[in-house]
Amino acid sequence: MRPAEAEDTEPQSNTALERNVLENSDFAVRRADHVGFSVASLDSALRFWVEGLGGQLVRVGDMDGEFLGEVTGAHGATVRMAVVSLAGQMIELLEYRGVDLQHRASRPFDPGFAHLALIVDDIDSLLERIAVYEWMPQGKPQVISGGTRAGTKVIYAVGPDGATIELMQLPKATKNHNAD
């Protein structure tokens, strides 16, 4: 299967057991609340998300103690945190202190890897802008050749902490930009 067509596959149907579990569940997932990124420097991360991408700072704060340790597993840590609103998405930025930080770059194909995809008007201009904040594209933007997303221009960009965003320029925006 070509990557450009990966989104067109039909989801596999649930087995009878899976359907039974889903139908008899006492819970429901209501909606996603936010996406979180651990960062080396909250100040640098805020510059990128607010100045670089145009997000709005919602709040800042500090966390520590048993609550933080039980929720995150980072026992003994303190956290400087901020929440930024960007295009209707809440982004939580977390700077952990007081724990052994092991920074190793993850790759898009490593298990557990995650990214946030953003719809943008002009990938090329945005890539120039975010380079100032040390966010680097992983190659050259590519146009999806088939399927429901045909014509969409896409690229991953990785920040200085290893966080990844996917930029997606929809076909109409691609055509308008190329006509300039």
Q: Which amino acid is at 47?
A: R
Are 69 and 75 in contact by the 8 Å Cβ rule? The answer is: yes
Which residue blocks in 99-141 are alpha helix, DSSP H?
123-131
pLDDT score of 29? 82
Digitized pLDDT (tens) for each residue of the chain, 180 residues in all: 344 445 555 555 567 766 666 676 778 788 888 999 999 999 999 999 999 999 999 999 999 999 888 888 889 999 999 999 999 999 999 999 988 777 676 777 777 788 999 999 999 999 999 999 999 999 999 999 999 999 999 999 999 988 899 999 999 855 444 444
> Cα separation of 156 and 135, whole Å?
10
Q: Which amino acid is at 12?
A: Q
pLDDT score of 6? 54
Spatial neighbors of 37 by CB under 8 A, at least 6 apart, are 45, 91, 92, 93, 94, 161, 163
Q: How would you classify the pairing of strands 164-169 and 116-120?
A: parallel
Spatial neighbors of 21 by CB under 8 A, at least 6 apart, are none
> Cα separation of 88 and 90, whole Å?
7
pLDDT score of 110? 77
| b/e per residue 85-104 (b: at least 16 CB within 10 A) | bbeeeebbbbbbeeeeeeee
The secondary structure of residue 15, as a DSSP letter, is P
pLDDT score of 79? 94
pLDDT score of 86? 97
Instruction: Provide the whole-model pTM.
Output: 0.78
